[in-house]
Amino acid sequence: MTGKENTQGESDRDAIRDLLLQKAKAFHGEVCAGIILGTRMTIIGMRELGMDPQQRNRNLMVYVEIDRCIADAIQAITGCSLGHRTLKYLPYGKSAATYIDLASGNAVRVNVLEKKRTDKTGPEAMKEANKLLLDAPEPDIFQVRRVQVTIPDSDMPGMPKNRTRCSRCNEMIVDDKQVRTGDTVLCGNCAHGSYYSER
């Protein structure tokens, strides 16, 4: 009986995982390795916080450490986004994300244990590798750790608490992103050298 219940539980879990994969696919365009990893990471992260991944949870914030497919899976499934200020991007180039419950302060970081998964190339090998990622036992491909995250007030959702102007370009800056040197208030572009140049 117990064995049967377990099997039922497992197939329910697989069905939910597949539904979430479809959600991520609809947003990203395909089910690639990153979508599989991001979906599994999100299932783990939300489970560890006691949240249902099938429901939008407004107390969830995610710090994602890569701007690749994984980030799209996280956004599609959780509903967290840059625009809602609930998805934070850190340019570290790592297959990792931290899931935070803003209500309790609990946080869990999930990162992918990098391994060489196959020597073969081509679409068949890719399919095989993806299947492996989908079915591999959690501890084989993920490290899951309870962590503590200090979120600056100025990074929280809600109305901007702070507005100022850059003293050089005169553009508006919100959310405490100005750079202050002595009495001078500068925007990021003016302070650090801009990512664009005038033409």
Binding site for Zn ion (CB under 5 A): 32, 34, 69, 166, 168-169, 187, 190
Residue number with CB closer to Zn ion (20 or 32):
32
Q: Nearest distance from residue 170's CB to Zn ion, in Å?
A: 7
Q: Which residues 6+ apart lie within 8 Å of 169 measured at CB? A: 187, 189, 190
The C-alpha angle with vertex 183 and arms to 156 and 91, in degrees rounded to 5, equals: 40
Residue with tokens 């916080």: 49
Classify each residue of 149-174 as buried b or exposed e, where b means 16 or more C-beta atoms within 10 Å of its C-beta.
Answer: eeeeeeeeeeeeeeeeebeeeeeebe
Q: Please, where are the H alpha helices in the chain?
A: 2-28, 33-48, 69-78, 123-135, 138-141, 188-192
3-state secondary structure of 179: strand
Residue number with CB closer to Zn ion (97 or 187):
187
Amino acid identity of 90?
A: L
Residue number with CB closer to Zn ion (34 or 53):
34
Please give the Cα distance from 14 to 124 (Å, whole number).
Answer: 23
Which pairing describes strands 60-64 and 87-89: parallel, antiparallel, or unpaired?
A: parallel
Residue number with CB closer to Zn ion (32 or 110):
32
Q: Nearest distance from residue 71's CB to Zn ion, in Å?
A: 10
Q: Nearest distance from residue 37's CB to Zn ion, in Å?
A: 10
Residue number with CB closer to Zn ion (56 or 177):
177
